[in-house]
Structure 1
Amino acid sequence: MIIKDWMTKDVITVDPETSMMRAAKLMKEKGIRRLPVVDDKGKIVGMLSDRDVKEASPSKATTLDVHELYYLLSEIKVKNIMSPNPLTILDTDTVVKCAAIMHDKKISGLPVLNEQGELVGIMTQNEVYRVLLSITGIYHGGIQIGLKLPDQRGTLKEVLDCLRGHKARVISILTSYDKVEEGYRQVFLRVMDMEKSVLNELKKELSEKYDLMFWVRDSIN
C-alpha cells in the first residue's frame, strides 16, 4: 500500500516564528499532537510535538506572575523548541516502510513529501493503524485461522485449495517468518463466516492436514 493513498493530506502547519503559545493553542483546537514547521518557501524545516511544548513550558512551581508568564510564553518561538531537520518520507513509498521507520526511530509521525520536496501530507500512528485494520479485514468479521506451514513452494496453494473445496471466501492472507523455527512460516487467513457445520468440517480437515495454531471467530462488533 502506497502512502499517498492513506496519508492525511490537509496538513496543519506553522512557521518558525510562530509563538509557542499560538502553536500549543492550535494543537489543542485541532486535536493533534504534532505540527510540521515550514519556512516562507514552503520547505519543511522542523517538527513540533506536544512533548516539545510541555518540556519548554514553565514549571507549575514558577514564581513568575501571570503577566510575566504570558510574556515569556509569547516570546518563545517555534524555531526555539522544534526538532530541526525532521525525518521525512515520500508519498510514493509504502506504508510498511513508513511504519518500520517510525518503529525503529521511536517517532509517532512522519511528514510526507512529493518528488519536488513539497510537503503534501503526514503519516501518524493513526494512519498506520487504519492500514493494519484494512489489510487484516477485521471489520468484515469472520474466522481468523493461524497455520504453521513448511516454507516450501505450493504449501499455501494446498491450503487455499482446501478452503475452496469448502466454498470458503477468503478475506485476507498474511504471512510471517517471525517467532517460528527456520524452514517454516506462519500463515494467517481470514475467511467469511459460514454455516456451523461447514466450518466444523473445514476446521477438522485443516487440523488433520496442517499445524493449526489457532481458530478464532474474530469481530469487533
Structure 2
Amino acid sequence: MKVKDCMKRNVISIPAGETISEAARIFVERHIGVLPVVNENGQPVGILRLTDMLTLELPDFFNLVEDLDFVHDFGAVETTRPAPELLNRPVMLLVQPVTTVDEDSGLLRTYSLMLKDNLHDIPVTDADGILVGIASVVDVATAVLSSWQEQKGKTA
C-alpha cells in the first residue's frame, strides 16, 4: 500500500506571502493543527504548526525555565496578545523546514520519515513536488494495521 491510498486529499495550505493573522484565522476556522506553506507553484516551502503560533503568546524567558511546576497562574501574561504589527508580518517568520513524502512512497517509508523528524502529519507531494495530500500518523498506522487484519483474514 502507498501513502496516496490513505492520505487526506483536501489539503488546507497557505501561500508563503500570507500573514500570521491569516494563518491564525485558518487554524481557528478549519480546526487543524498543521498548515503547509506553499509557493506560487503549490510546492511546500515550509510547515506551520499550531504550536508555533502559540509561541507568540509566551514571553521569551519561558523557554529558559526548566521547571514550571511552581507556576500555577501566568497572571497578566494570560491576557496579553501579540502586537498587531507582528500579526501582519509574513507567515514565513514562523515557518519550520518541511519534510515531505512522495505520494508513491510506501507506508513504512512514510512512517520512518515521520518518526525520524518527530512529525504527526507529513505533506504528500507528486512527482513535480506539488502538494497533493497530507498524511497523519493515524492515517498511516491504521492503514498498516488494516493490512494486518486483511492478512489475518486470508490465513484464517
TM-score higher than 0.5: yes
Rounded Cα–Cα distance in structure 2 between residues aligned with 1:57 and 1:19: 17
Write the mapping of 1:66-105 to structure 2, written as runs, cut at 5 A.
69=82, 71-84=84-97, 86-105=98-117
What displacement does 1:48 show? Answer: 0.4
What displacement does 1:95 show? Answer: 1.1
- Which secondary structure does the structure 1 equivalent of 2:104 belong to? coil
Runs of at least 5 residues in structure 2 that lack an aligned partner in the other structure: 60-73
Q: How many equivalent residue pairs?
A: 141
Rounded Cα–Cα distance in structure 2 between residues aligned with 1:71 and 1:105: 32
Pair 1:171-2:153 in alignment: yes
Rounded Cα–Cα distance in structure 2 between residues aligned with 1:51 and 1:112: 21
Rounded Cα–Cα distance in structure 2 between residues aligned with 1:57 and 1:72: 14
Aligned to 1:148: none
Rounded Cα–Cα distance in structure 1 between residues aligned with 2:119 and 2:152: 34
Aligned to 2:144: 132
Greater RCO, 1 or 2 (C-alpha within 8 Å, sep 6+): 2
Q: What's the % identity of the aligned pairs? A: 25
What displacement does 1:44 show? Answer: 1.3
**Cα RMSD (Å) of the superposition?**
2.7
What displacement does 1:37 show? Answer: 0.3
Instruction: Identify, as 1 or 2, the structure richer in strand.
Output: 1
For 1:106, give the aligned amino acid: N
- Runs (4+) of structure 1 exceeding 6 A deviation are none
Evaluate the alpha carbon distance shift between residue 129 and residue 31 of structure 1 in structure 2; reply closer, same or farther with a 3 A threshold: farther
Please identify the structure whose Cα radius of gyration is greater: 1
Pair 1:57-2:34 in alignment: no
- Which secondary structure does the structure 2 equivalent of 1:40 belong to? coil
For 1:81, give the aligned amino acid: L
